[in-house]
Amino acid sequence: METLDTPVLDNHLHLDPDRGRGLDAVEDFARFGGTHLLVVNKPSWHLGVEADDPEDFREVFETTIDVVGAASGVLDGRAWPVLGVHPGLISRLVDDRGFTPDEARELMIGGIDVAAKYVAAGAALALKSGRPHYEVDDAVWDASNAVMKHAFSRGAAVGCAVQLHTEAAEDLTEIAEWAESRGLPAGRVVKHYAGGRLAGPIPSVMSDKDRLTIAAEAAEAAEAAETSESSESRAVDAPFLMETDFVDEPDRPGAVLGPKTVPRRVRWLLDEGYETAVEVAHVQTPADVYGIDTVGTLDRS
């Protein structure tokens, strides 16, 4: 397939080298024009790890780091690991394993601390946290928010972004304020599985055409306002990222979206005239949020 004249980053997907497609999925992504990946560790129990101690999460993190290294060998760009504790773990601990919400909170906070050590050592790019996207009781909700706030503190301490798994929303300003109050800029908080419109964190937009159209039009409008001679003040930026949340589970092939989706959608955005939006999603926003250079790390040779 013809090479795209731009880096192409999938901001959030999972790879399972033992149970899933692993590098075969990366090869699909690359063949269709994908160049860069942010690979988020799968939920720990999906990799067969039932954690009782924070150190138990290391097996999950090491598996992810190893597959990221292999993925970078496939790509014209490279991949980076994003490590943390899936917020759904709290329900597994409380409902299935007999933990109290406080006990679950402390285990998950410990897991975030372990993940942050990998970031501090340069072995991972960012942290993952969040809160359940489904109904839970107050004690579990409060414990989940405490874990997420701790992730913000650790992100601030080690100087990295935090990706969030949360409920669907168009306004998460309060969460961004929690991050800011702990020293992590709101511009380094990313809402995974986002729609095209979001207040507070940076949206990592699921790559269906309806959501992307909203985000792309906002990015194009912001750029037009900034460059217009008649503009009296600088317009608010409209940063966004693109993702598939590919889960790499053998009984759910292609779920949530398949690995070919982001490069296909980039081609579609370019065909529709959204060149600025593609630049925003695949060059500018990755640089601003994560400090990564998707152009400088691209080698077409």
AA letter at 206? M
Q: What is the DSSP string of 135-146?
A: ---HHHHHHHHH
Starting at the edge strand found earlier in the chain, the sheet holding 202-206 runs 9-13, 36-40, 79-84, 126-130, 162-165, 189-194, 202-206, 241-243
Q: What is the pLDDT of residue 2?
A: 67
Three-class secondary structure of residue 11 per DSSP? strand
Q: What is the pLDDT of residue 228?
A: 61
Q: What is the pLDDT of residue 235?
A: 39
Over residues 205-248, the pLDDT tens digits come to 999 999 999 999 999 999 888 766 454 444 348 999 999 999 99
List residues bridging with 128 in a β-sheet: 84, 163
pTM of the model: 0.95
**Phi first, then psi: what are they for 190, rounded to 5°?**
-120, 125
DSSP state for residue 56 in the 8-state scheme: G
CA separation for the pair 222, 237 (Å, rounded) = 6
Domains and CATH numbers, the chain: 9-290 (3.20.20.140)
CA separation for the pair 198, 130 (Å, rounded) = 16
Three-state SS annotation for 183-230 = CCCHHHEEEEEECCCCECCEEEEECCHHHHHHHHHHHHHHHHHHHCCC
CA separation for the pair 231, 14 (Å, rounded) = 42
Over residues 109-128, the pLDDT tens digits come to 999 999 999 999 999 999 99
**Pair of tokens at residue 95:** 């409902």
Q: What is the pLDDT of residue 234?
A: 41
* Average pLDDT, consecutive stretches of 10 residues, N- to C-terminus, the chain (301 residues): 89 96 97 98 96 98 98 98 98 97 98 98 98 97 98 98 98 98 98 98 98 98 75 64 96 89 98 98 98 95 69
Phi-psi region of 248 (alpha: psi -120 to 50; beta: other; left: phi over 0): left
DSSP state for residue 15 in the 8-state scheme: -
Q: What is the pLDDT of residue 136?
A: 97
